[in-house]
Every structure is written in structure tokens, then in C-alpha cells.
Structure 1
Amino acid sequence: MPDPYAASGVDTAAGDRAVELMKRSIAATHTPAVLGGVGGFAGLFDARAIAGMRSPVLASSTDGVGTKIEIARALDKHDTVGQDLVGMVVDDIVVVGAAPLFMTDYIACGRVVPERIAEIVGGVADACRRTGTALVGGETAEHPGLLAPDEYDLAGAAVGVVEADALLGPDRVRTGDTVLALASSGLHSNGFSLVRRIVADAGLAFTDRIDELGGPLGEALLTPTRLYTAELLEVLDSADGAGVHALSHVTGGGIAANLARVLPDGAAVALERATWTPAPVFRVLADLGGLALTDVEGTWNLGIGMLAVVAPESASAIAARLASLGVPTWPVGTVSEGTTIHRASAEDGWVRGAKGVDGGAVRLSGTYAT
């Protein structure tokens, strides 16, 4: 008798084949602290790995890749969105000074194509390995009728750990601190609903060549999210690490709102646009949409993927170390007293906090370098 579940559109055998194809890449992320291998109902991580800490605090994060996946589907290129997922999840953990321990992923799809699933998870696993994160488990769910056969969504969650007295955040920030910008690799994984709208309204296909980008539009858009975790942890573990007071991951909401979240109430930062030149992909998209770059500052990172608030005497050394690790870094502003600024309205360009956090005040000023 035919399998009624398969007849309804769920191919469990294909799911098993996908697991077999991805096992090797997942295993490459495992350390002796990972117990049980691949395929259990729960991923197991030996907590003795943190037993030697004085006062360990666990940090957790969850996120997805969003509608950037639609561009991966359009190009049938699925080997980069896994890095996007790890960047969006694990780089949120390092913001508080935590080192990642382990991660799980979740793929919902209309139809399991084992090779495609293995390609996606292979990207997750490679990025986990590069950030020192064990990929301890995951789930692939087939949703026929809810998702079209070639549609899928990708999400994940991770856990890290930090000593309580090493937590980064607003309480460490001081007037006079330097704000360093860490370069992004491109759009990362935010604002792609706007990207897709602009491209559709312009009548373009993601396969169309854009001279300013040196190739097809979709390939530039799929540039994977830069991973900052390993480099930032190296800085935090160095002699200059004590000079790092706060970190901000520039994701949804743009530059100003995400920095404001990690500043104390009463602090203000004016970020100088003239200190950097947004990458061509941002200008191309803005021009296609008839927008100024200032119109999309609350949507795209415009070239800054992470911000570090550091002691002024440590700024040059921290920037130099990050640059030596392959992360271009430059000073973009200074923390000042913001008592009077906080009475100013949003019409003056100041942003205060985001996502429920009522933090400091931030605005971008001046004109972008060309």
C-alpha cells in the first residue's frame, strides 16, 4: 500500500537523505563538549565546559534570514544564506561580550530537496565552525500546501556564555568614549523587502547585470553577512579588551536606532557620515528607487555592520587589531552628554532607542563621502 503521508506531500525518506548529506559538515563544528552526535531528539552539550567560570551568565539569541531567501531562490544559489543566519544570530550574542557555545537551525520548506537542504545547512555549519559555535541539532519540516514546492524559510537560535563581570552594555559607556564603525560586507540580511520592491518596480531581474556592481544584481545582493564574532572575541581577550564598553549589531532599524539601544539614558552620539563611503550596492538600490541614502538609514546598514563604543585611549589599538584581522574599522563619533538633546524632537534627527529600549540619543550628521 502506498505511504499515505508521502501521498499528502511529505517525503520522510527525502528528509533522511538530507540528514545523511549534511552530517559531515555538522560534525566539523563539534568539540568534545558536544555529546550524542547528529540525529537525536535534542542536542546535548556538556555543561562542564563552563564549570571553571567564576560567575557564568548564559546569553541567547534567535533570528532568521528573512526575505533575502527569495533572491537565493531566484538564482538557485543556496550556499550563502546559512552564513547569513549565523551572522544574524551569533553576532547578537557577542554584543554582550559572550562567546557562543552552540546553535540549532530550523528549515521549513514546501518540498524537501536533499541536496538543497544539505547546501543550506553546509553554509550554516561552515559559519558555525568559523565562529567557534557547535551546531548541535536542527529540524527540517516539510509543509506542502502551506509553502510552494521550492519555497523555504530559515531560522535558528544560539546560546553563549560570559562572565557576569565582563558583560558589555550601557552601564559601561562613558562620556568621551569613541564610537568605532566596523565595515559591513553589504546589505547583510536586513531590508530585503524594500530591496525586492525596488527591483520589481524598476522592472529588473536578479540575473540582470549592473555595471556599477561588476556583475549580476542578485549576486551582489547575496553577498553573505560578515561574521564578527571571532574577531571581536580576540579583541575582548586581548590587553585592549577592557577598553570595549559596548557593542551594537546594526540589523533591522538601521544605524542610529541600534546604537541608541546600547547607550545609557542621558548620552548622545552624532555619527559623522563624512567618515565613510557607502558601498556601491547601496547607491545603486537607492538610485533605482528614487531615494536618497538618508531615506534608507533606518532600513539598511549603509556599510556599518557593527559599532563598538570604546575608551578613547584604546580606540586606535582596537581599530588596528580589527583591521589586522580583516575588519576595516574607523572612528565615526564620540559619546557626549545628551540631557538637552533628549528634549529635542525626532524632527531634529535624533533617535532614542528601539525595540522597547529607551536608551541614549543618536543621529547621523553631515554628508556621506563619495
Structure 2
Amino acid sequence: MSESKDAYALAGVDIAAGNAAVAQYREVLGRWQHPDQLDAIGGFGGLFAMPGDAARALVASTDGVGTKILIAAELERYDGVGRDLVNHCVNDILVVNASPLFFLDYYAVGKLDPEIAAAVVSGCANACRAHGCALLGGETAEMPGLYAPGHFDLAGTIVGVVDRAAVPNPASVEPGDAVIGLPAVGLHTNGYSLARALIPHEQWLQPFGDATYADALLAEHPSYYEAVRAIQKVASVKVMAHITGGGLLENLPRTLRPEVKAVLEQSRWSVPAIQQVLVERGGLTHEERYRTLNMGIGYTLVVPVDDAARAVAAVPGAKTIGWIEARTGEEAQVTIHPARSTD
């Protein structure tokens, strides 16, 4: 990270440091790879050859809810974070076209309150049931002294399955393809350290739009599973991306080949009001806002331009947000700019 840190780093989350850590993980893990491991670390989900079935692969991913938990804990709204967690994990393995099989949660706290724990896990269970995904179990860890009173952490691991022939292929992406965006409803599970720095807890219960700041901050991280399956029925989906930490600038390139870039027009979609507040209060630069927040796009799909209209029509709120171009040299893999004139 340069000496001039961005607003998110000043709030305590250094995305560049996270990227550097992953680079070191690759170096360590690159020394040996299991023969049935089908890809390298760093993807949205890891693939492992299905024992006894060469045509299919298991897909696994682990994630957490982040400091959204601190807002939920202070407001005593516990069940939502369980749904956030499962939906986030479902979306991650969906990027490689996997369907969820089972989920395990990890709930850690300094002093265990059984009712709070049950409320948190009930959110996980409800979201698993909505996806036909088994909640096999997990771990409840009581660790005095590690967490402040009332605080807890929540993480989970999901395992799904995919036909290996159906795994999206970045090599299929060509200049002229369309980028479809599915709408975000809020921060989802990223950007909360910045949000807590810019929206003090004294304001959380104050009116904001038709509800309160708290309602906007705790809006559920949606699952895009059904939306993606609906689009796949009418369009050829080449690659997908879940827009989480790192925003559009870092997540969309994760499934593009180096020879292409995505060009997006920010005026083609709406930015949730809560994110507009953060941009204004934090004075976020163009790069900061699209690297820290989802800025209104929760999931992207690349389809042939001839399929774009059918893809958009298949899901309410879906929009064509940009296109694919050839990339040369050291050009950025994602460019976001205002709509171009048609004159």
C-alpha cells in the first residue's frame, strides 16, 4: 500500500494488504498440489475432482460476514447475519456454476448465550433450506477473553457440485460480449468498517428513506442462485463474478482472460442510497468507491451480445451494464465511466 492510504484502509481494512497475503499463500501452496485439485488458490471456489466420477467436481468456499456483525449485535438483530453468510457462500460457488450440497457454520464468542447462538444459526438453517442445502453442523466456540462482551464472529464453509463440462471457461469471452449486472440491495457483507466509521451508531435508528439507517445497513445479502439459473435458461453464460470485497474493479477481472477487459457505464444502473451516503461522507474517489463498495451491482455475467436482451428480460432488475473489449499492454481489466454520447 502506498503511503497515501485510501478511506477504507484508514477505516482499518487494507485491500492491498489482503491481495499481498493471497499472493504469499499462492507461493506457499504452489510448492505442492493434490493431484485431484483442479485449480489454484484465489478463485471464488476451489474445485476438487469428484471421487469415482470423473465428469463432476466438488466446489468448496469459506467466508464470513465481516463487521456487519457488530451492527447486528448492537441492535440485537441476530438471524439476518446467518442468512447473509449462507447466501454469500452460495453466490461464491455459483461463479463456477456449482449447486450447493451442504454447509457448515463456525460461531465464536467470548461468553455463550444459547438464545443468541440459536438465533444466529437459525438464519443459516433457513437460508440453507431455501437452497435445498444441508446444514450438516459446525462449531460453536466459547473463548473467554478473545471477544468483547456481546461480540461474536461467524463464518462458514459450503460444498457444492458441478459438471466439469459446465464450469465457465474464461477463454470463451470475446470482444463484443455483453456484461449483465444483477442489482445489489445495499452493502451486502463488505464495506462495513468504512460504514461504521462514517455513520456513527447514534444515527443507526434515525430515519433514512422509508426506514432507518440500521435497516439499510443490515439489508440482507441476496442469493443470486435463482436469477442466474433463470438467465442460463435463455442465454449462453460465459463467465460470472460475485461482487464482494474489492468491488467491481477487483472481482470482475478474476474470471476474465488477460487479453480482454470490461468497459462499464456507471449511468446504466442505480447505486443504493446507503452507498451514496458513504461516497459523499467519505469523499471517496472514483477508484475508491468501485474498489471498496459494490456500488449497486452484486453479481455479473458475461453473455454474447445477441443474448443480452433475453438475459435482462429473464430477471427483474437485471441490466446490461457494459461490454467486453480487447485489452493491450498494461490496461486495466475494468474501466467504469459515464455513459458515452450516442451523437
Which interval holds the TM-score relative to the shorter structure? 0.7 to 0.9
**Equivalent-residue separation in structure 2 for 1:215 and 1:74 (angstroms):** 18
1:362 to 306, 318, 334: 334
Task: Tell me if structure 1 keeps the 8 A contact 2:184–2:272.
Answer: no
Amino acid at match of 1:255: L
Amino acid at match of 1:135: L
> Percent of counterpart pairs with the same letter?
39
Q: Which residue of 1 aligns with 2:245?
A: 252
Question: 1:81-110 deviations in whole A, cap 9, x for unaligned?
Answer: 011101221110010111111110000011
Q: Which residue of 2 aligns with 1:111?
A: 111
Amino acid at match of 2:337: S
Task: Tell me if structure 2 keeps the 8 A contact 1:61–1:89.
Answer: yes
- Note the residue ranges of structure 2 that are not aligned, 5 or more in a row: 1-49
The answer to whether structure 1 residue 311 and structure 2 residue 304 are counterparts is yes
Once the two structures are TM-superposed, the CA of residue 171 in structure 1 deviates from its matched residue by 2.1
Q: Which residue of 2 aligns with 1:343?
A: 330
Task: Tell me if structure 1 keeps the 8 A contact 2:100–2:159.
Answer: yes
Query: Secondary structure at the residue paired with 1:261?
Result: helix
| TM-score of the aligned structures, taking structure 1 as reference length | 0.74
Q: Which residue of 1 aligns with 2:322?
A: 333
**Equivalent-residue separation in structure 2 for 1:51 and 1:343 (angstroms):** 41
**Equivalent-residue separation in structure 2 for 1:316 and 1:85 (angstroms):** 32
Question: 1:271-312 deviations in whole A, cap 9, x for unaligned?
Answer: 101101211111122223333565321001011000000112
Query: Secondary structure at the residue paired with 2:257?
Result: coil
Alignment of 1:250-289 (within 5 A): 250-289=243-282
**Equivalent-residue separation in structure 2 for 1:207 and 1:256 (angstroms):** 29
Task: Tell me if structure 2 keeps the 8 A contact 1:97–1:233.
Answer: no
Task: Tell me if structure 1 keeps the 8 A contact 2:206–2:213.
Answer: yes
Q: Which residue of 2 aligns with 1:207?
A: 204
Task: Decide whether aligned partners of structure 1 residues 330 and 89 sit closer, same or farther in structure 2, where only a CA change above 3 A counts.
Answer: same
Greater C-alpha Rg: 1
| TM-score of the aligned structures, taking structure 2 as reference length | 0.80
Task: Tell me if structure 1 keeps the 8 A contact 2:56–2:161.
Answer: yes
Q: Which residue of 2 aligns with 1:223?
A: 219
Query: Secondary structure at the residue paired with 1:205?
Result: helix
**Equivalent-residue separation in structure 2 for 1:316 and 1:86 (angstroms):** 30
**Equivalent-residue separation in structure 2 for 1:148 and 1:253 (angstroms):** 28
Task: Tell me if structure 1 keeps the 8 A contact 2:86–2:124.
Answer: yes
Q: Which residue of 2 aligns with 1:322?
A: 315
Q: Which residue of 2 aligns with 1:69?
A: 69
Amino acid at match of 1:91: N
Task: Decide whether aligned partners of structure 1 residues 169 and 196 sit closer, same or farther in structure 2, where only a CA change above 3 A counts.
Answer: farther
**Equivalent-residue separation in structure 2 for 1:70 and 1:317 (angstroms):** 41
Task: Decide whether aligned partners of structure 1 residues 77 and 96 sit closer, same or farther in structure 2, where only a CA change above 3 A counts.
Answer: same
Query: Secondary structure at the residue paired with 1:301?
Result: coil
**Equivalent-residue separation in structure 2 for 1:111 and 1:206 (angstroms):** 28
Amino acid at match of 1:122: S
Task: Decide whether aligned partners of structure 1 residues 149 and 296 sit closer, same or farther in structure 2, where only a CA change above 3 A counts.
Answer: same
**Equivalent-residue separation in structure 2 for 1:52 and 1:172 (angstroms):** 29
Task: Decide whether aligned partners of structure 1 residues 58 and 206 sit closer, same or farther in structure 2, where only a CA change above 3 A counts.
Answer: farther
Q: Aligned pair count? A: 291
Once the two structures are TM-superposed, the CA of residue 52 in structure 1 deviates from its matched residue by 10
Query: Secondary structure at the residue paired with 2:291?
Result: coil
Greater shift in the superposed pair: 176-185 or 224-233: 224-233
Task: Tell me if structure 1 keeps the 8 A contact 2:268–2:339.
Answer: no
Greater shift in the superposed pair: 278-287 or 76-85: 278-287
Once the two structures are TM-superposed, the CA of residue 150 in structure 1 deviates from its matched residue by 1.4
**Equivalent-residue separation in structure 1 for 2:210 and 2:277 (angstroms):** 12
Task: Tell me if structure 1 keeps the 8 A contact 2:60–2:158.
Answer: yes
Q: Which residue of 2 aligns with 1:168?
A: 168
Q: Which residue of 2 aligns with 1:81?
A: 81
Task: Decide whether aligned partners of structure 1 residues 207 and 274 sit closer, same or farther in structure 2, where only a CA change above 3 A counts.
Answer: closer
**Equivalent-residue separation in structure 1 for 2:203 and 2:101 (angstroms):** 37
